[in-house]
Amino acid sequence: MFTMNMRFSGSDSAAGGSDSQVIIRSIEPRDAPAVTVLIQQLGYNRPEAEVLRWIEDVGSVSHRQAAFVACLRDQVIAWIEVSIEHRLQSPPFALIGGLVVKDGVRGKGIGRSLCQTAESWSWDRGVSTVRVTSRSTRTDAHHFYLKDGYESVKVSQVFEKRGRQGVDGEQNNKM
């Protein structure tokens, strides 16, 4: 668990306009409702039941995947997810799969603290590179990562092929 003191403006109802402690900790099942709302702020739509199932299941793969939340007065205001990826063509690396900070509390160092937590978790598992992908339209996110020391190393496109319905309600292809 990691704690940071932050100063919030008086217009921020979640913080009450004073010095407040933000706690960063591992994600827990009780976080599913707030995390679901933040997933929507990120632009995705995933049912709360699926989010809860993912949170419950992540413990069984904790050697290669983790998620952390930032909490202000017991309210989840941000989350980050990271995994260790193994590819045939490259050494293992950590991949930040998602990061979102609640509207109204961005720009206060919370995202940076979550990145530091994910980076430490990754390096503790022996990888030397932490990678993040970001949609081409998210220019604010690009500036955030560049300012944080990440380098843009390539531009890619993502292709998907949908197959039959999977267990999580997502499309899966089986060979």
Find the DSSP H helices in 125-162. 139-147
pLDDT at 175: 40
Contact in structure between 31 and 55 (CB atoms under 8 Å) = yes
Please give the model's pTM, rounded to 2 decimal places.
0.83
C-alpha to C-alpha distance for 140 and 8, rounded to whole angstroms:
21
C-alpha to C-alpha distance for 93 and 133, rounded to whole angstroms:
13
Asked if the model's pLDDT at residue 166 lies above 90, the reply is: no
Asked if the model's pLDDT at residue 142 lies above 60, the reply is: yes
Highest mean pLDDT among 13-17, 114-118, 133-137: 114-118
Q: Tens digits of per-residue pLDDT, 95-134?
A: 999 999 999 999 999 999 999 999 999 999 999 999 998 8
CB atoms within 10 A of CB 174: 6
* 17 vs 71: which has the higher pLDDT: 71
Task: For residue 15, name the pLDDT band (cuts at 50, 70, 90).
Answer: very low
Q: Please state which architecture CATH assigns to domain 2-172.
A: 3-Layer(aba) Sandwich (3.40)
- What's the mean per-residue pLDDT of the chain? 87
Task: For residue 167, name the pLDDT band (cuts at 50, 70, 90).
Answer: low
Asked if the model's pLDDT at residue 50 lies above 80, the reply is: yes
C-alpha to C-alpha distance for 150 and 142, rounded to whole angstroms:
9
C-alpha to C-alpha distance for 67 and 65, rounded to whole angstroms:
7
pLDDT at 11: 45
How much is the average pLDDT of 70-85? 96
Contact in structure between 4 and 113 (CB atoms under 8 Å) = yes
